[in-house]
Every structure is written in C-alpha cells, then in structure tokens.
Amino acid sequence: MVSGERTGGDGTIGAVSSPQVRVRFAPSPTGYLHIGGARTALFNWLFARRMGGEFVLRIEDTDGERSRPELIDVIFRALEWLGLDWDGTPVHQSERGHLYSAAIETLLANGDAYWCACSPEEVKARAEARGGTPGYDGHCRERGLGPGVGHVVRFRVADTGTTAFDDLIRGHVSFENANLEDFVVQRSNGSPMFHLANAVDDADQGITHVIRGEDLINVTPKVLLLRHALQAPGELIFAHLPLIVNEKRQKLSKRRDDVSVGDYIDRGYLPEAMVNYLATLGWGPSDGVEIRPLAEIVAMFDVSDVGKSGAFFDVKKLQHFNGEYIRALTVPQFVSRSTRWLFEDAPWPAESFDIATFEVLAPLVQERVKLLAEVPSFVDFVFAAEPTIDEDSWQKVMVKGADLAVAVLDHALVQFADCEWTAAGLDAALFSYAEQHEISKGKVQAPVRVSVTGRTVGPPLFESLVVIGRDETLRRLGSARARL
C-alpha cells in the first residue's frame, strides 16, 4: 500500500490479479549457495507445492562479474542436490535489460525519476555536514539533468504519506515516506539496481508472493513504490523469514561459519536430511515431530506459522538428522551413497579396495556414522597395508596399560592361531582371558582393537577380524607386541 503525493507524476495500481500462486527464488551467482539461500529456496518451494502453485527460478546476473556460467551452475547443482525442482525455464536477468531500460524511461518520462550527478563521496560529505540521518538529500531533484558520465537515475520518493504492507510473518509493516531517501534505480554504468529489476520481473512473470530473508525488509518499500509508479497489475504479498544465526546469535557469515551448501555436500550429508533440517529453521510441524518425509512437510507447511525470531543453525542437530537418515537407508543404498568417499578421497591405494569386502562391513559401519565422509575412517584398517595408529589411543591403551596389553596380546596370539575363525569363535577365544582374570571385556578387547585397527573406536571387533583374516590379524598382533 502506498499513500502520499510524489512531487512529480503519479501512477495507479491495476486491478488484475494472478489466479495462481507463483513464487520465485532469485539468487545472485557467488560461486556457492548460502545455507540461508537454500532455506529461502526451500520455503518458497514448500509454499508453491503446498498451494499447488509454481516455483520460478530467476538468476540475478546483471553484474557482469557474476554472470559467468560456472558460477551460475553452482546454483543449479545445489538446488538439484536438494531436490528442489523449478517450473519452466530459469530466467536470467542479464537477458532482460530491454525491460529494465523501458521501465527507467517510463519513470523518467512520468517524473517519477530523475538524473543525478552526485558521487557517493559527495552524498556522504553533505550528510556529515548537515548531521542527523545519513543518506541522499535530493540535491539533483530539480536540476533537470540528463544522461552523463557518472550520472545515475534516482526514484523520486513522495515527501509525505506512508508505504506499508501486510507481511504474512511480521504483520503490518509501515514506512514513513519522509524517512525514505530518493534511491538509485539505475547505476552510472547503465545497469539496473536489483530492486528495479525485481519489481519489473515480478510484474512481468505474474509473481504473487515474495518469500525472502528479513534482511531485505527495508528494500520492500522501494519495490512497492516502483510497482505503484509502473502501474504493475495485481498485489504482491510478502513474507520475510527470520535470519539464520550461529550459536552466538550472530547472522551466519562466510568469515565465521560454514555457510556453503557445497561444504555440507563434501562432508557427506544426505540431501533429504539437509532439506528436512532446513525446514525446521523458523518453522516446525504442529505435532512436534521434526524428522519426517518431505511429502508430509509439504502437506503441513504454512508460511504464516514461521516464527519471527532468529533460527539457530545447530550443526550437531543437523548431524543427528543425518545419522537418522543414514540408518534409514537400505544397505545397498548406503553402499551406493558412500562410493564417492570410498573411491575419490580414500586413504588407501585404489587397487587394494574391494567393494565386496566393504559390503560385508557396511551394515556395521552404517549403524555408527553420522556423515558419509566418516565411512573411510571406519574401514581404512581393512584396505591399508598397515593400520594408521592413533597416538592418543596407543598411549592410553598400550603405554599406560602396558602390562595388561602385553598379557592380552600374548593370549590372543595363542588363542587366535587355531580357534574357529568366526565372530563367535573369536569372542570366546579372547574373552576367556577376561573370565580367567575377572577383567572387563572392554579392557581386554582394547589392546587387540588398537593393534589391528589403530584406534579404540570402530565397527564391531570380531566381525572386523573375520573380514581381515587370520594371517593378517596375527601379523598385526605380533607387530604391536614387538613394538611394546
């Protein structure tokens, strides 16, 4: 809603409205998709699917430096990984310059905009000299300037009245026009500001709802003023999402936090877990059950239920979600999802890896990992020529408990030489020492585990020994005994 008189020209809002919900996600290519952007895309997608509407993808690539194909492809790949499909062909703002130029000409012709020759430094200097609120002072409003080197085009904001809207999350939001400066709509290089481009594109594409972060709420009156001046049809409904914050309640920042979706892909998060977790950042199902299929989230999602407070991005909680989704996979699915880390970044020679051997251990590993990137560390002792010894584990078990370690290894070397080579047989052979000396099984098992796997944690010991084989197990036990 816009009220008040502008000092040059007028415009009216048409009565046409879109019969169907259409939302858009409009990222700028930066070389990565921010977690906040992913949550914004998801909430737009959920709203569109819940309402039976359309989810439109629009790339804000009017900045020549950011219009390189490889930067734009990052957005497509991240959205595809998340499973957020869009309707129709993505729109590139870099291909729509003629629409923005026409809008600028209309604003100038109607007196809703004017040319300005003030440099940012001049604007800042005058603001400091007069004191009070910083910003542009309308210096070029009545100078009657035209195009020129360094000239920008500014929108002429009404001197009186208000610009207001009803936000689906934040309620009624109002701005006094007197507090809004005459803002730039076209840069000195001829490119449009993003609020001008978005106002034009939203009207041209029939967008009905804009769901975005609350950090853009101050841009909204500019969009409404532009729509009013350009006589854009229909009403645009806004919903401003709470910011995503870290544990210190600070807005997520690339300088401080891991904010790229690509980082989480590389660490072995499942897309379904990430999407499910992102859905809980600011919104939650009425029954309190957070981990649930996406189809159920779509059916329950209501953007008006989104809270106003900042949403804490809790990595530990995300890992919990991911672990639950990993355990929900079938074993073949788990093996398939793990292959990238087993082949591309594995800590063993490629020729030593055997997928059939891994498939035997896969169910045991699946029960324990929270990230797929952890999988190699649970089985590296099987495929590496020698186990990588974790020094903390060695010191704790083999050095500080040297007397027990020596006795247990001597016992295991004798018993494992001719026992039944099954998990049950190995269990009985080793734990006979625990029974004879009334020692806990955990203390007896530890020296064998460190000797064979290099550390104190991992998949079940005896199943692992079965896979490694009798000869290799005895060799590693002997090597550890000799080191002691």
The partner residues of 213 in beta bridges, in order of sequence, read 241
Q: Which residue has the tokens 């060695």?
A: 394
> Active-site residue among 254, 308, 317, 400?
254
Which residues lie below 8 Å from residue 411, measured CB to CB, with a gap of 6+?
430, 432, 433
Q: Is the dihedral of CA 267, 273, 274, 280 positive or negative?
A: negative
Q: Is 254 a catalytic residue?
A: yes
Q: Do residues 27 and 59 lie in contact, with contact meaning Cβ atoms separated by under 8 Å?
A: yes
Which residues lie below 8 Å from residue 31, measured CB to CB, with a gap of 6+?
71, 74
DSSP helix/strand/coil, 62: coil
Of the CA atoms within 13 Å of residue 473, those in its CB half-sphere come to 25
Q: Do residues 460 and 364 lie in contact, with contact meaning Cβ atoms separated by under 8 Å?
A: yes
328: amino acid identity, one letter: A
Distance CA 388, CA 450 (A): 10
Q: Do residues 47 and 301 lie in contact, with contact meaning Cβ atoms separated by under 8 Å?
A: yes
Q: Do residues 85 and 56 lie in contact, with contact meaning Cβ atoms separated by under 8 Å?
A: no
DSSP helix/strand/coil, 362: helix
Q: Encoding tokens for residue 59?
A: 């790339």
State the DSSP H helix or E strand holding residue 352, giving kind and residue range, or none if neither: none
Q: Do residues 74 and 42 lie in contact, with contact meaning Cβ atoms separated by under 8 Å?
A: no
Q: Do residues 229 and 13 lie in contact, with contact meaning Cβ atoms separated by under 8 Å?
A: no
Q: Encoding tokens for residue 383?
A: 């495929």
Buried b (16+ CB within 10 A) or exposed e, 262-299: eebbebbbbbbbbbbbbbbbbbebeeeeeeeebeebee
Distance CA 70, CA 186 (A): 27
Task: Measure the CA dihedral 322/327/333/334, to 10°.
Answer: 80
Distance CA 293, CA 52 (A): 19
CB neighbours (10 Å) of residue 135?
A: 15
> Which positions are annotated as active-site residues?
254
